[in-house]
Every structure is written in structure tokens, then in C-alpha cells.
Structure 1
Amino acid sequence: MKKLLTLFLIVSVFTACKNDAKTEAKMSENGKTIEQNSELRTLVGQFIYYADAAVLQTRNDIYGVIINEKMHELNDMAKAYKKDPTDYVTVQVRGKVIPKPEGEEGWPFRIDIIEIDNVKKYESKENEVIKLNGDAIE
């Protein structure tokens, strides 16, 4: 009886750990999946470039953006959604996350933008009003 119980326990552990979700991986030209091919990460957040400083703020982190041609391309795309130069825009980008060199000021990580996936207007919820039974709550 103990052997049967042990065997049942082992089989149930292995079947519970099995990953049945089969997805088609996008393959690149060298036969690796996109995730295996590079160190690129997709980040979604609010982007701002002002006075020679570029920042990307995600839900959990803040990244300094390396100023290069791709960052300037992103900024040019963002201008269409800004009223003031200090306005944020919501972006989705892919890039390399690089630790900040020791001895330099700034955010702990930087992002070198490689691909720009999406740019849209930042929808601030700062002045949003919720109404409950006719009473306004700000």
C-alpha cells in the first residue's frame, strides 16, 4: 500500500509540473527564438526627453534612456502627442537594459532603445472624478 501511495504521489507531482501550453515561438534567421536571440526587453511606460535628459518610467522602475539616434526618433514621434515639451507620452519599446556605471549619477539602470513598438498620448488620471450616488469624489 505504501508503494502504491508513493508511486501515485510521484506520478501526480510530475504531471502537475508538466507545461501543456504549447505556443509557436517566433524564429529568427539563425534558428533561435526571439527571446533566446538577444538580451532585448520590452518595456511599456511614460517617456520624456527634456533638456538633454531622457527618462522612461515603467510601473515599477525608472530607466535613464541612452541618447542616440533611436531615442531622437522616439522623441520626434512623441512630439505629435505633446502639448508642452514637459509632457509624457506612453511608449512601448524594446532595448538593452544596462546597469549604470559606478561613480556616475543617475538611475540604477539605463535602456538603449533598439526598436520602437508603439507611441501614444499619455492619459493622466490625476483629475479623474468618480461619482457615487450623485456625490463627486476627487
Structure 2
Amino acid sequence: MKQISILFILTLVLFGCKNEAKQDVNLEDNRAKSYDQNDGFTTLRGDFVYYADAAVLQTPKEIYGVVIDENMHLLEAQVKAFKKEATDMVPVTVRVRKFEKNKDEEGWQYRVEIKEILKVEAPSSEAKDVIKLAN
């Protein structure tokens, strides 16, 4: 009888546990979505900044110039909530079309055109890589 009671309690505990809430954005699913759709879009996660008519997405391995269009302006509107200064970079996850820039244009070798905004995060307050110049 004691073994049945223990088995019954363990069964209740296992089925009574709540599953963790699923994140809003699963990057692996989005990457798979990019590849499965064969639409040429990829998922990039990096720091975004738009300042003085120039937009940049910096990933851990590459820096991209961002095409200034309606989607970029939508991203900028979402990013503004997390900026303390105009030059602050904000972590984002986006689906993009990546392409090489024209030879006669200035800037980074690759450019990206934002197709879908997946996630905008608050910048880490622990980052100590900011250099400020003062007069």
C-alpha cells in the first residue's frame, strides 16, 4: 500500500508541474523558417543604431550597412524606447535580405534589408565598452 501511495504522489507531482512559458521568439525556429522557405532571408542578432542618416547592424562577426526604408524606420521607432543617447546601440533580432554593396558605394562590404522585426531588447547595463569624450 505504501508503494502505491508513493507512486500515486509521484504521478501527481509529474503531471502537476507547469510547463515553462514558451518565449515569444524561438530563433532556431526562425532560422529553420528562413532556410525552409528558401526565400533568401536570414535571421541576424546584433546591435542596431540609426544616427545622422546612417543605419548599422553590428553582429559578433560582421558589420552591415542597413538599407533605409520603411522597415528600418519601424525598427528605429521600437529601438528609441531603449536609447539614452542618440548614438546608443540596441540589441535586436531581425530577418534580413543580405547582399553585397555596389563597388562605387561607400560603406561596409555587405548590406542588409530588414524584412521582419523579431525582437528588440534593452541594452545590457553591465557593458563597460563605452568611451565618452568631454571638453
Same fold (TM over 0.5): yes
User: Residue 54 of structure 1 aligns to which amino acid in structure 2?
Assistant: A
RMSD after superposition? 1.5
2:55 counterpart SS class: strand
Instruction: Please tell me the residue identity of whatever aligns with 1:35.
Output: Y
Q: Which runs of 5+ in 1 are unaligned?
A: 1-25, 27-32, 128-138
Shift of 1:119: 0.3
Which structure has greater strand proportion? Answer: 1
| Aligned counterparts of 2:110 and 2:40: Cα–Cα separation in 1 | 14
Aligned length: 96
- Tell me the residue number matched to 1:125: 127
Q: How far off its partner does 1:34 sit?
A: 4.3
Counterpart position of 2:52: 51
Q: For residues 4-83 of structure 1, what are the structure 2 equivalents within 5 Å?
A: 34-37=34-37, 38-83=39-84
3-state SS, counterpart of residue 104 of structure 2: coil
Task: Identify if the C-alpha distance between structure 1 residues 35 and 81 changes in structure 2 by more than 3 Å, giving closer, same or farther.
Answer: same
> What is the deviation of 1:36?
3.7
Indicate the structure with greater helix content. Answer: 2
- Larger-gyration structure (1/2): 1
- Aligned residue in 1 for 2:101: 100
Partners of 1:69 and 1:58 lie apart in 2 by 22
Q: TM-score, normalised by structure 2?
A: 0.67
- Measured in 2, the distance between the counterparts of 1:97 and 1:76 equals 22
Q: After superposition, what is the alpha-carbon deviation per residue over 1:41-100, rounded to whole angstroms, capped at 9, x for unaligned?
A: 100000000000000000000000000000000000000001111111000000100101
Distance (Å, rounded) in 1 between the aligned partners of 2:102 and 2:56: 17
Q: Which runs of 5+ in 2 are unaligned?
A: 1-28, 130-135
What fraction of aligned residue pairs are identical, expressed as a percent? 45
Matched residues in 1 for 2:123 and 2:63: separation?
A: 16
